[in-house]
Structure 1
Amino acid sequence: MNQILKNCLYYGASRVGELPFLRARFAARAAIILFHEIQRDCQSELMTGTSASLFEYSLNWLQREGWSIVGLDECLEQLARNDQSRRYAVLTFDDGYRDNVSVALPILERHNAPFMMYVPTGAPTRTMNSWWLGLRKLFLANDTVTIDALGRHFHCSDIRSKTSALTEVSQWVHQDYRRSAMLAPTFMENGISLAALNDEYFLDERELGLLARHPLASIGGHTTSHAALATLDEPSARAELADNRGYLENLLQLPIRHLAYPYGGPTACGPREEDLAKEVGFQTAVTTRQGRLYEHKLNEFALPRIGFNSRSGFSARMSGIIEAVQAP
């Protein structure tokens, strides 16, 4: 859908969703909200994260609209008790970005808002194939970019064209996550070190250990290498889950009971991955499938989350109107 039309739909849905009788009709008991980077200057990062102002807006909106921001364990406990007195929001951050601490944490502290950070082993160990960071660096550093694996040549001299080109190549990878390995020669030719980018963007082991002791923070697993589990054979997928859990528990000396599937869509995880997550000892797993939580239909190993990139998109998703419109 054209982005302008999508924004108009979100804005209209958000306004309609403010009507009290519709909010009551489509209200869910809880929602898990998905974040990655929380950026001070989104343009300089090619619009790849959530702005600090949008992040703070979302927390203000939740509290103004009567949503209690709680940890994942408390949320699921209240759903199991069929507590009808309040609605619950859970804040989650994938990958372990530095700006989750430098930018987001002061905002979270002001709101006394607990949160979950899902961390892949390869982020603090600097071994992850963070191809999305490599692509971002590639387009930021060059006005002419060739992606041989895609057979595309891009002329992009301004932020808008760079952002558009980055989006096109990223979508190509998301169509088949095995394509990410095909970008390695391009990164090498352009002097881009993914290990250096990991060091720049992600918390290290010491910083992660400090964060894990913060009273608002919980840490969850996110596999060893951030691979799309559905593309791996069963032993490899199981090892990705078990080894990551073991690594984090050894590093932090804390139980790791919650998981986020990398990428989290239907082509990245499914029923097999749910079974594997249970086998290795996780108690919940979140996806990136859009949706809120209802106590009468809850699969704790395929929990949906709310993702958004605008104020109207956030309020429309949280109101439930978008779900109602898109339902078959």
Structure 2
Amino acid sequence: MRQSFKAAVFQAVRWSGLTPALRKIFAGRAAILMFHEVQRDFRSELMTGTSEDLFEYSLKWLRHEGWEIVSLETCLERLANDSQPRRYAVVTFDDGYRDNVSTALPILERNNAPFTVYVPTGAPTRTLQSWWLGLREVLRSRDTVTIDAMDIRFSCPDLNSKASAMSKVAKWVHEDYNRAELLAPTFRNAGVSLSALNDVYFLDERELQGLAQHPLASIGGHTDSHPALACLDAASARAEMAGNRSYLENLLQNPVRHFAYPYGTPGACDTREERLAEEVGFSTAVTTRHGQVSDRKPNPLALPRIGVGGQFDTKLAFEARMNGIQSAMHGLLGLS
């Protein structure tokens, strides 16, 4: 019901002619877009990433609407120095999925769109405790799934119910990031290997080296093991960042200056993590806090992003976020 109401509001604003006015008031000068997987078979992956169709539409729409797609460094430089009312978009991907190359890269090339991929050490080394991949595999392969740690049994015979279960368990984990470890018995009982899933879904070291040589690509850090940094003591959090930066620089033989906080929510990163990121040597860091960039000189170590994808995302909703309509709804109607 909530999604239907929001869609109705978006559609009404589009046809009312109010979009230019709302854009002027609520939209920023720049937007950093956040993607994870770009999926050819979106439904069979339980609608957990971004569909290939929506990804391509988003880039074409940006070009059509006059947004200039630039690198993160270029975006921040132009915001600081360019007084003209130009609008900039930055494309980012978290985690380093194989489909960022196989599916997304040809689309990025057609649109001449620079992009950054934030990679945790554990993805190419296959050591990442990628609980989200394990959960998806368990749900895809079974019609009934018991999550002992939640004391819940899901009946999920079709893709929609599986996607719903995925969303509920993920929300439970995001309420307390330490809960991710409690899913291990579920994976073990189902015979699901996270290492094997890492091998299927993430770029390996050789592939990552190849991607780093692409003229449109930049590689950023994303910690060693993808923890919620705020849940760690300062020394451990710093080691996660520094170890990842060192690993990537040694592997790629290039400086790594950009960083994405795992999870990226206020509960996963705050001012302490900003300070640590600067100490380690990162010049920018992105969060998952929703928003566009409005200031000429935003905090480069706590940049907001606009997520694209998921079960309920649509072309209309994407346009509404980019035009500031969703921000207007949040401010005027209290809807996020």
Q: Same fold (TM over 0.5)?
A: yes
Deviation at 1:14, TM superposition (A): 5.1
Residue 323 of structure 1 aligns with which residue? 327
Judge conservation of contact 2:27–2:292 (CA < 8 Å) in 1: no
Matched, 1:47 2:47: yes
Deviation at 1:67, TM superposition (A): 0.2
Q: State the SS of the aligned residue for 1:45.
A: coil
Deviation at 1:155, TM superposition (A): 1.1
Instruction: State the TM-score, normalized to the length of structure 2.
Output: 0.94
Judge conservation of contact 1:96–1:123 (CA < 8 Å) in 2: yes
Query: Which shifted more, 12-21 or 39-48?
Result: 12-21
Flag the 1:201–1:58 CA change in 2: closer, same or farther, 3 A: same
Deviation at 1:177, TM superposition (A): 0.7
Question: Which structure 1 residue ranges, 5 or more long, are not aligned?
Answer: none
Deviation at 1:321, TM superposition (A): 2.0
Q: Which amino acid aligns with 1:160?
A: N
In the alignment, the residues of structure 2 paired with residue 298 and residue 17 of structure 1 have an alpha-carbon distance, to the nearest angstrom, of 31
Residue 98 of structure 1 aligns with which residue? 98
Judge conservation of contact 1:147–1:153 (CA < 8 Å) in 2: yes
Aligned pairs (5 A) from 1:123-202:
123-202=123-202
Flag the 1:120–1:15 CA change in 2: closer, same or farther, 3 A: farther
Deviation at 1:13, TM superposition (A): 4.8
Residue 225 of structure 2 aligns with which residue? 225
Deviation at 1:86, TM superposition (A): 1.7
In the alignment, the residues of structure 1 paired with residue 124 and residue 101 of structure 2 have an alpha-carbon distance, to the nearest angstrom, of 14
Q: Which amino acid aligns with 2:328?
A: A
Q: State the SS of the aligned residue for 1:54.
A: helix
Judge conservation of contact 1:29–1:84 (CA < 8 Å) in 2: no
Q: Which amino acid aligns with 1:323?
A: S
In the alignment, the residues of structure 2 paired with residue 48 and residue 15 of structure 1 have an alpha-carbon distance, to the nearest angstrom, of 30
In the alignment, the residues of structure 1 paired with residue 251 and residue 274 of structure 2 have an alpha-carbon distance, to the nearest angstrom, of 25
Q: State the SS of the aligned residue for 1:163.
A: helix
Judge conservation of contact 1:17–1:316 (CA < 8 Å) in 2: no
Instruction: State the TM-score, normalized to the length of structure 1.
Output: 0.96
Residue 290 of structure 2 aligns with which residue? 290
Matched, 1:21 2:21: yes
Give the RMSD, CA atoms, in angstroms. 1.5
Judge conservation of contact 1:17–1:321 (CA < 8 Å) in 2: no
Query: Which shifted more, 43-52 or 13-22?
Result: 13-22
Q: Which amino acid aligns with 2:319?
A: S
Residues 287-324 of structure 1: CA deviation (Å, up to 9, x unaligned): 00111111346111110001132211211111112213
Judge conservation of contact 2:242–2:280 (CA < 8 Å) in 1: yes
Judge conservation of contact 1:118–1:259 (CA < 8 Å) in 2: yes
Residue 260 of structure 1 aligns with which residue? 260
Deviation at 1:80, TM superposition (A): 1.1
Judge conservation of contact 2:41–2:51 (CA < 8 Å) in 1: yes
Residue 235 of structure 1 aligns with which residue? 235
Judge conservation of contact 1:39–1:99 (CA < 8 Å) in 2: yes
Flag the 1:149–1:295 CA change in 2: closer, same or farther, 3 A: same
In the alignment, the residues of structure 1 paired with residue 301 and residue 222 of structure 2 have an alpha-carbon distance, to the nearest angstrom, of 13
Deviation at 1:20, TM superposition (A): 2.8
Matched, 1:277 2:277: yes
Flag the 1:55–1:137 CA change in 2: closer, same or farther, 3 A: same
Judge conservation of contact 2:177–2:228 (CA < 8 Å) in 1: yes
Residue 30 of structure 2 aligns with which residue? 30
Judge conservation of contact 1:292–1:304 (CA < 8 Å) in 2: yes
Deviation at 1:103, TM superposition (A): 0.3
In the alignment, the residues of structure 1 paired with residue 44 and residue 117 of structure 2 have an alpha-carbon distance, to the nearest angstrom, of 24
In the alignment, the residues of structure 2 paired with residue 197 and residue 10 of structure 1 have an alpha-carbon distance, to the nearest angstrom, of 38
Deviation at 1:74, TM superposition (A): 0.4
- How many pairs align? 328
Flag the 1:2–1:325 CA change in 2: closer, same or farther, 3 A: closer
In the alignment, the residues of structure 2 paired with residue 279 and residue 98 of structure 1 have an alpha-carbon distance, to the nearest angstrom, of 31
Q: Which amino acid aligns with 1:101?
A: V
Q: State the SS of the aligned residue for 2:25.
A: helix
Flag the 1:297–1:216 CA change in 2: closer, same or farther, 3 A: closer
Judge conservation of contact 1:222–1:262 (CA < 8 Å) in 2: yes
Deviation at 1:45, TM superposition (A): 0.3
Judge conservation of contact 1:277–1:285 (CA < 8 Å) in 2: yes
Deviation at 1:260, TM superposition (A): 0.4
In the alignment, the residues of structure 2 paired with residue 15 and residue 306 of structure 1 have an alpha-carbon distance, to the nearest angstrom, of 24
Query: Which shifted more, 101-110 or 5-14?
Result: 5-14
Flag the 1:138–1:15 CA change in 2: closer, same or farther, 3 A: farther
Deviation at 1:117, TM superposition (A): 0.4
In the alignment, the residues of structure 1 paired with residue 24 and residue 141 of structure 2 have an alpha-carbon distance, to the nearest angstrom, of 49
In the alignment, the residues of structure 2 paired with residue 297 and residue 314 of structure 1 have an alpha-carbon distance, to the nearest angstrom, of 25
Q: Which amino acid aligns with 1:325?
A: M
Percent of paired sites with the same residue: 63
Query: Which shifted more, 12-21 or 105-114?
Result: 12-21
Residue 3 of structure 2 aligns with which residue? 3
